[in-house]
Amino acid sequence: MLGNIGRAILGLIVVAGVVLVLGNRATAASTSRSGVLPAPVVDDALAASKGEQTAVFAGGCFWGIQAVFQHVKGVKSAISGYAGGTAASPSYEEVSSGSTGHAESVRVVYDPSQVTYGQLLRVFFSVGHDPTQLNRQGPDVGTQYRSAIFYNSESQKRIATAYIAQLTQAKAFGRPIVTEVSQLRGFNVAEAYHQNYATLHPYDPYILINDAPKVANLRRQLADLYIEPAKN
């Protein structure tokens, strides 16, 4: 995500609740489209009993991905962090340099009796990010902002690759899907100030422009999966 200097360069001005985007670097907040992506043909059935499973997704700044999944039915937690790299304990500064190979990612813990892995993928591709942008997402550029799915089981790998193939065959996007599908080798939790950032800073210009619309699109496009998180 951009720092204060980056936001100033983008020329974001918030006046009386209206966001004006100046210059030529206005960005789309999500993969907004007139239609809704189809449900995965290949997916697990809902589990017969409650439990916990984990999924890891990367799609640009983790603030937005975390905010989206915090509003998905059956998700118990969504934690911002780093995955896909080589450094044992990477810091935000190291990941931002692009030298560690990590992507800003979100670890989603969910109840498979309430939501399937395929449904999470549908959220990820529908409103979480634009899977056709290579090594960037909106104003954020670099391999650390790549689109990626980090699977932790053969079932997740099978469902993810099948869904990408399904969307590709259906020509759901105007450009090729570039999402990386890789085995999860580890996940490092990000610094505390990155956690729940969209919730804690709802009027941050970056959040208003890039992330709040994603949550709004989730509520509008996938209402059956949308929830309001419990307030602490």
Could you read off the pLDDT tens digit of each residue along the chain, which spans 232 residues? 554 334 433 434 333 343 333 222 233 333 434 468 999 999 999 999 999 999 999 999 999 999 999 999 999 999 999 999 999 999 999 999 999 999 999 999 999 999 999 999 999 999 999 999 999 999 999 999 999 999 999 999 999 999 999 999 999 999 999 999 999 999 999 999 999 999 999 999 999 999 999 999 999 999 999 999 876 5
Provide CATH code, domain 4-225: 3.30.1060.10
Q: Could you confirm whether 117 is annotated as catalytic?
A: no
Of residues 12, 55, 61, 83, which has the active-site annotation? 61
| pTM for the structure as a whole | 0.87
**Domain boundaries of the chain, sorted by first residue:** 4-225
Q: In three state form, how does the secondary structure of the chain look?
A: CCCHHHHHHHCEEEECCEEEECCCCCCCCCCCCCCCCCCCCCCCCCCCCCCCEEEEEEECCHHHHHHHHCCECCEEEEEEEEECCCCCCCCHHHHHCCCCCCEEEEEEEECCCCCCHHHHHHHHHHHHCCCCCCCEECCEECHHHCEEEEECCHHHHHHHHHHHHHHHHCCCCCCCCCCEEEECCCEEECCHHHCCHHHHCCCCHHHHHHHHHHHHHHHHHCHHHECCCCCC
